[in-house]
Amino acid sequence: MKICRFDDDRVGIVLGEEVADVTDALQPIATAQYPFPRHDVLVANLERLRPAMDKLLPDAPRRRLADVQLLSPVANPGKIVCAPVNYADHLAEAMGEAEINHGKSISTIAEAGLFLKATSALQGCSHGVVIEHEQSRNDHEIELVAIMGTAGRNIRHDEALSHIAGYAIGLDMTVRGPQDRSMRKSVDTFAILGPWMVTADEIRDPEDLDLLLSVNGEVRQRANTRDLVMKIADLIAFATSYYSLAPGDLLFTGTPAGVGAVQPGDRIQAHIDGIGSMDVPVRGKRGVAR
Ligand code: MN
């Protein structure tokens, strides 16, 4: 099942070029009270809500996907966990290019550990990226994102994949510079998630998916998730050996070689097999184009 959020917080199921509005299925979770949970309530209740979504589907109002604004498929992740240098070719690129490493020594992921992006950076693909620091280099990083479905701490490798609710495409947008990574990667709109969430049952092998990122039609990043240095199960085990993960938490699994700058007015096309494609506008502070 491909589940999207669109327009004014509608929830839909994507069917080909259309989206079926099944927002009414969320009735059972519309009663959250203060203090609100720190995880995503829709993802936490997804298995419970799926039968109601299926029941609504035949008569659900349909819209053309091209006519809706796609929001981040997860509304309220408690954490955005990210893997640095998790493809060997990107590690080599980051070590070799001063504009990427800014004089900092780049180590392996096992040494460097994982990092967090602020959840306020989260944005859907239709809104796109807003470049606020035009004097700096602003890079795209396409990444497979695993969306946690069930909570856990010290999750074992052999159980890790069963904690995943689904997958989406992520853009870990990055300002290059000497500042702390958690600031450079947390600019508003610098965590793009889209175009929808594909439930885990539809992805046969998350570690055999082709990724492709183009800017204005020019291919920049092309890879396959089989080349992940630290595998998805290992990332979850590694992360949860430090902190718990909760439903809706996002795990950005790392980017392959080919990272590069974007400018206001550019369009980023991102594709991952089994998930789909998204076309993401890059805006300046004052609008789409300069
Ligand atoms: Mn990244």
How far apart are the CA of 106 and the centre of ligand 1, in A? 13
Residues 170 and 193 sit within 8 Å (Cβ to Cβ): yes
How far apart are the CA of 32 and the centre of ligand 1, in A? 33
pLDDT at 208: 98
How far apart are the CA of 55 and the centre of ligand 1, in A? 38
How far apart are the CA of 245 and the centre of ligand 1, in A? 19
How far apart are the CA of 26 and the centre of ligand 1, in A? 33
Residues 222 and 209 sit within 8 Å (Cβ to Cβ): no
How far apart are the CA of 59 and the centre of ligand 1, in A? 41
pLDDT at 74: 98
pLDDT at 289: 44
How far apart are the CA of 259 and the centre of ligand 1, in A? 9
Select from 16, 18, 24 the least CA-distant residue to 54. 24
Q: What is the pLDDT of residues 90-124, one digit of tens each?
A: 888 888 888 888 888 778 899 999 999 999 999 99
pLDDT at 97: 85
Residue 233 makes CB contacts below 8 A (sequence gap 6+) with: 157, 158, 160, 161
For residues 80 and 134, give the distance between their C-alpha atoms in angstroms, rounded to a whole number: 25
How far apart are the CA of 92 and the centre of ligand 1, in A? 14
Where does 80-284 sit in CATH, by number?
Answer: 3.90.850.10
Q: What is the pLDDT of residues 69-98, one digit of tens each?
A: 999 999 999 999 999 999 988 888 888 888
Task: Indicate the domain borders of the chain.
Answer: 2-71, 80-284
Pick the CATH number of 2-71 from 2.20.25.90, 1.10.760.10, 2.30.30.370, 3.40.50.150: 2.30.30.370
How far apart are the CA of 98 and the centre of ligand 1, in A? 17
How far apart are the CA of 263 and the centre of ligand 1, in A? 18
Residue 120 makes CB contacts below 8 A (sequence gap 6+) with: 186, 188
